[in-house]
């Protein structure tokens, strides 16, 4: 038999959870054409996989690469991990719908040359595919984008007309291929919404096949259980499946109580609901510094927030309200908040330093330093927050309804993010699972279980028809890795490092990483609901 590409002598772990087996894989026309003993096969490209695992390409169930792929279309930080598909639009922040004047993703994020010249999913997808991308993306529509376009950026319920506008825009996005409505309920303006508002918007999409609800829940003190309950309640009332985003506990006073959170999910499933979650394997999170300020300060968007912050009286009010050392009831730990990115050259030397360190150097309080940095950087400032417990991570990872999502961004170590010190999950999530939680801690996951959580399980949630498993006829989105050496190298101090032990990554049969090097290929597509 003649193939475009032949992967020989590998160990196949097919993404279903079934035991591994030895086989060759023949690829033609971007799809898997044959699996088995293909020693007589011929191909233009032959990849020797002896001693290596051949698995479906990893599906990043929770990504924030909506805009970064326009800056860094090679997606180096993700494809070198073996990621071939990213699910984007999470935490309420999708780049569509957009008014043509404001974009919720671009307005308060990293400096970029990208101009948002689209207004809907179609326009954004055309822009991505015209530019070319090295991996696939599956879009979701964000609640904050809906509220922004509907003109509800302040802390109030929408009018009947505004709610109908959000419902219509959500349905239009789903018709154009979005898989889910996402919320970010600690992130204005999504956080201003009541449960009823969210249910109404999700209900407008519920009659479309394959649609579900995704939530970054309300991470507030005393809410570690109530937040999951609200997430499930939205799905129950709207009549759709539920995906809980980046499961974790960020309140040190309730570390070790993960069983209480997953019990909510287990009860819902016992009642017939389809509820799952994603999580990442790190004891730290990352966010914009803005998220730690009072909600009233953020009303109306970034420009309005900066105007308030630059009024001395209003800034003093913000300082007074947060000087007690708590954020929505959660204790501020300034030494555990480390600056990841800034936009000005003058503050570049602060990247990698904690808020506590900067505050001491400036002879200011932590709150004063936080607000000053937001002001100085026009809000383009991010932090890594060391706020999770390793025992909780292992517990959540091992649960039957857990799948893996990086909560990270596709970027290049030599692109516009090169001077940042991002969370290492941007570069290391998937090899970290393979190395630290399979090989080094086998009691957490078997290799077959890990691959399922990174491939077949998210593919099932997304209702992908021909991705996520190694099967004849499926798209040849594949990763070849060494199970004895695969490991993350990215660290908090030096995150821009590619992993070890993942030499080959194919997207639609096209090698994107070959012998450990990025080929420059851009075969990725926007995978739309129902496709």
Could you identify the residue written with the tokens 């180096």? Answer: 76
Give residue 65's Cα distance to chain centre: 8
Res 104: pLDDT: 47
Burial of residue 320, with CB atoms counted within 10 A of its CB: 0-12 exposed, 13-18 middle, 19 or more buried: exposed
Residue 264 DSSP one-character state? H
Out of 339, 364, 385, a domain closes at: 385
Residues 173 and 228 in one domain: yes
Give the torsion through C-alpha atoms of 463, 466, 468, 474, to 10 deg: 170
Query: Containing domain of residue 330, as a range?
Result: 287-385
Residues 238 and 173 in one domain: yes
Residues 356 and 332 in one domain: yes
DSSP codes of every residue in 306-320:
HHHHTSHHHHHHHHH
Q: In this structure, is residue 38 part of a structural domain?
A: no
Out of 342, 367, 385, a domain closes at: 385
- Distance in angstroms (rounded) separating the CA atoms of residues 399 and 188: 31
Residues 330 and 350 in one domain: yes
Instruction: Spell out the per-residue pLDDT of the chain, length 531, in tens.
Output: 899 999 999 999 999 999 999 999 999 999 999 999 999 999 999 999 999 999 999 999 999 999 999 999 999 999 999 999 999 999 999 999 998 654 444 445 566 777 788 999 999 999 999 999 999 999 999 999 999 999 999 999 999 999 999 999 999 999 999 999 999 999 999 999 999 999 999 999 999 999 999 999 998 888 889 999 999 999 999 999 999 999 999 998 899 999 999 999 999 999 999 999 999 999 999 988 988 898 899 998 889 999 999 999 999 999 988 876 666 777 778 999 999 999 999 999 999 999 999 999 999 999 999 999 999 999 999 999 999 999 999 999 999 999 999 999 999 999 889 999 999 999 999 999 999 999 999 999 999 999 999 999 999 999 999 999 999 999 999 999 999 999 999 999 999 999 999 999 999 999 999 999 999 999 999 999 988
- Distance in angstroms (rounded) separating the CA atoms of residues 346 and 366: 20
Residues 185 and 221 in one domain: yes
Cβ proximity of 275 and 401 under 8 Å: yes
Residues 198 and 256 in one domain: yes
- Distance in angstroms (rounded) separating the CA atoms of residues 431 and 43: 29
Residues 293 and 374 in one domain: yes
Out of 341, 360, 385, a domain closes at: 385
Cβ proximity of 28 and 4 under 8 Å: yes
- Tokens, residue 411: 């970027």
Cβ proximity of 181 and 170 under 8 Å: yes
Residues 292 and 341 in one domain: yes
- Distance in angstroms (rounded) separating the CA atoms of residues 66 and 408: 11
Q: In this structure, is residue 314 part of a structural domain?
A: yes
Q: In this structure, is residue 25 part of a structural domain?
A: no
Q: In this structure, is residue 418 part of a structural domain?
A: no
What is the pTM for the complete model shown? Answer: 0.96
- What's the total number of domains in the chain? 2
Long-range CB contacts (< 8 A, 24+ apart) of 153-158? 153/188, 153/189, 153/299, 153/300, 153/301, 153/304, 154/189, 154/192, 154/299, 154/300, 155/188, 155/189, 155/192, 155/295, 155/296, 155/299, 156/192, 157/194, 157/197, 158/197
Q: In this structure, is residue 133 part of a structural domain?
A: no
Res 322: pLDDT: 81
Res 358: pLDDT: 97
Res 430: pLDDT: 98
Residues 6 or more apart whose Cβ sits within 8 Å of residue 474: 31, 32, 56, 466, 467, 468
Q: Encode pLDDT of 371-404 as tens digits.
A: 999 999 999 999 999 999 999 999 999 999 999 9
Q: b/e for 382-411, b at 16 or more Cβ within 10 A?
A: bbbbbbbbeebbbbbbebebbbbbbbbbbb
Q: Encode pLDDT of 339-367 as tens digits.
A: 999 999 999 999 999 999 999 999 999 99
Q: In this structure, is residue 187 part of a structural domain?
A: yes
Q: In this structure, is residue 11 part of a structural domain?
A: no
Residues 276 and 170 in one domain: yes
Residues 265 and 299 in one domain: no
Q: In this structure, is residue 88 part of a structural domain?
A: no
Res 105: pLDDT: 47
Q: Encode pLDDT of 225-259 as tens digits.
A: 999 999 999 999 999 999 999 999 999 889 999 99
Residues 168 and 275 in one domain: yes
Residues 306 and 253 in one domain: no
Q: Where are the alpha helices (H) located in 380-524, listed in sequence order?
A: 390-398, 425-432, 447-454, 456-462
């Amino acid at each position: 038999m003649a193939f475009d590409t032949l992967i020989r002598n590998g160990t196949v772990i097919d993404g279903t959870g079934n035991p591994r087996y030895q086989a060759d894989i023949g690829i033609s026309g971007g799809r898997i054409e044959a699996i088995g003993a293909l020693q007589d096969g011929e191909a233009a490209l032959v990849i020797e996989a002896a001693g290596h695992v051949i698995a479906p390409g990893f599906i990043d169930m929770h990504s924030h690469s909506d805009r970064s792929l326009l800056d860094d279309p090679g997606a180096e930080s993700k494809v070198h991990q073996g990621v071939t598909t990213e699910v984007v639009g999470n935490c309420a922040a999708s780049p569509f719908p957009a008014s043509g004047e404001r974009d919720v993703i671009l307005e308060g994020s990293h400096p970029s040359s990208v101009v948002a010249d689209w207004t809907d999913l179609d326009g954004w997808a055309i822009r991505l595919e015209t530019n070319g991308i090295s991996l696939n993306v599956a879009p979701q529509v964000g609640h904050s984008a809906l509220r922004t376009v509907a003109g509800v950026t302040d802390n109030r319920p929408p009018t009947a007309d505004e709610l109908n506008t959000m419902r219509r825009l959500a349905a239009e996005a789903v018709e154009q291929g979005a898989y889910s409505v996402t919320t970010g309920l600690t992130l204005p303006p999504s956080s201003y919404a009541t449960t009823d508002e969210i249910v109404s918007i999700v209900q407008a999409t519920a009659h479309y096949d394959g649609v579900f609800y995704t939530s970054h829940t309300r991470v507030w003190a005393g809410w570690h259980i109530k937040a999951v309950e609200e997430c499930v309640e939205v799905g129950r009332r709207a009549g759709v499946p539920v995906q809980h985003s980046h499961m974790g506990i960020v309140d040190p006073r309730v570390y070790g109580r993960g069983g209480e959170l997953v019990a909510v999910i287990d009860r819902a499933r016992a009642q017939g609901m389809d509820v799952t979650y994603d999580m990442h394997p790190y004891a730290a999170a990352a966010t914009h510094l803005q998220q730690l300020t009072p909600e009233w300060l953020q009303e109306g968007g970034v420009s309005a927030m900066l105007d308030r912050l630059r009024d001395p009286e209003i800034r003093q009010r913000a300082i007074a309200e947060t000087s007690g050392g708590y954020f929505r009831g959660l204790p501020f730990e300034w030494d555990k908040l480390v600056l990841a990115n800034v936009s000005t050259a003058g503050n570049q030397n602060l990247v990698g330093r904690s808020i506590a360190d900067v505050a001491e150097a400036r002879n200011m309080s932590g709150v004063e330093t936080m607000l000053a940095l937001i002001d100085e950087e026009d809000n383009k400032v991010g932090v890594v927050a060391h706020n999770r417990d390793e025992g909780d991570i292992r517990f959540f990872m091992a649960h039957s309804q857990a799948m893996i999502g990086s909560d990270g961004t596709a970027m290049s170590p030599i692109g516009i993010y090169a001077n940042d010190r991002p969370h290492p999950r941007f570069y290391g999530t998937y090899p970290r699972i393979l190395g630290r939680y399979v090989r080094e801690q086998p009691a957490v996951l078997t290799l077959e279980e890990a691959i399922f959580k990174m491939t077949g399980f998210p593919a099932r949630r997304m209702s992908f028809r021909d991705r996520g498993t190694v099967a004849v006829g499926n798209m040849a989105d594949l990763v070849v890795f060494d199970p004895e050496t695969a490991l993350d190298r990215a660290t908090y101090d030096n995150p821009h490092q590619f992993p070890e032990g993942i030499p080959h990554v194919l997207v639609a049969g096209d090698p994107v990483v070959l012998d450990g090097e990025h080929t420059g290929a851009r075969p990725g597509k926007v995978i739309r609901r129902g496709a």
